Amino acid sequence: MNKEVEVRNLGSRDYKETWDYQEQLFKETLDQKIRNRRQNENIATRNYLLLVEHPHVYTLGKSGDHTNLLLSEEQLEKKNASFYKINRGGDITYHGPGQIVGYPILDLDNFFTDIHKYLRLLEETVILTLAEYGIKSERSPGETGVWLDVGTPFARKICAMGVRASRWVTMHGFALNVNADLGYFDHIIPCGIKDKAVTSLNVELGQKEVDMAEVQQKLMKHFSQLFEAELV
């Protein structure tokens, strides 16, 4: 089992370009697994963690409802935002500047073959990271992602998640609001969940801006520990 995870920090990059790149790495890993099986080879599959910040974009998961996007094409253009229907689970979400998006492309055969556990560990990565800033976050029953003040009228989401997996290879991932412009969430019903607010780390800390690189480092530390992975 190969527990090395290659971290690739892509900086600010277009959503479609990054999606295509994910698909390429995802396919390479799947192809290697198929070759190993067919040709009785034992070549280790590679694992990746892509970290990226996107320009304004809305993405709709395969089970999502298009009506949860509250903007027309013309309004999207005015907002300088794009829209994609994609192949992850979940409904609609927003990505944009000030948000850390993580795309783990892991062969779970290298770690554990349990998608439920995989999602819970991604959530835990974010929960432990936020705890370092004195923020108590948690899971909300039946709602993937990371939330604050669950079970109260002030429940708000700080991190969205949606993944795809095939033959235990993962893609897509999580989006943590660090210095996000929350106004962009007003134009969707986030994850198809009505009457729930969205927040960002800088808002919760009462700061104009939080150091994104520092948050990334903390996320990678907890990811490495929870997945018992060696980040390279």
Q: Which has the higher per-residue pLDDT, 24 or 191?
A: 24
Q: What are the tens digits of pLDDT across the range 147-174?
A: 999 999 899 999 999 899 999 999 999 9
pLDDT of 192 above 60: no
Q: Tokens 């599959």 sit at which residue? A: 45
What CA–CA distance (Å, rounded) separates 106 from 223? 12
SS3 content of the chain, % helix, strand, coil (to 5): 35, 30, 35
Q: What is the dihedral of CA 220, 84, 190, 76, to 10 degrees?
A: 120
pLDDT at 138: 95
pLDDT in tens, 214-223: 999 999 999 9
* Domain ranges across the chain: 4-231
Q: Looking at domain 4-231, which of 3.30.1280.10, 3.30.70.890, 3.30.930.10, 3.30.1330.10 is its CATH number?
A: 3.30.930.10
Neighbour-count burial of 211, counting CB atoms closer than 10 A to its CB (0-12 exposed, 13-18 middle, 19+ buried): exposed
pLDDT at 193 over 70: no
Output the pLDDT for position 194.
Answer: 56
Told to judge if 191 belongs to the known catalytic residues of this protein, a careful annotator would answer yes
pLDDT of residue 40: 84
19-52 tens-digit pLDDT: 999 999 999 999 999 999 888 888 899 999 999 9
Interhelix angle for 212-227 vs 115-131, to 10°?
A: 140
- pLDDT, one tens digit per residue, over 77-134 is 888 898 888 877 677 889 999 999 999 999 999 999 999 999 999 999 999 999 999 9
Residue 47 Cα distances to 3, 146, 229, angstroms: 8, 24, 10
State the Cα–Cα distance between residues 29 and 220, nearest whole angstrom. Answer: 22
- Gap between the Cα atoms of 1 and 67, Å rounded: 43
- Whether residue 28 contacts residue 44, with contact meaning beta carbons closer than 8 Å, is answered with no
Mean pLDDT of 12-25: 95
Decide if 197 contacts 157 (C-beta within 8 A).
Answer: yes
Tell me what pLDDT residue 166 has: 93
137 contacts 150 by C-beta, under 8 angstroms: no
Catalytic residue of the set 122, 178, 191, 220 = 191
Percentage above 90 pLDDT, the chain: 70
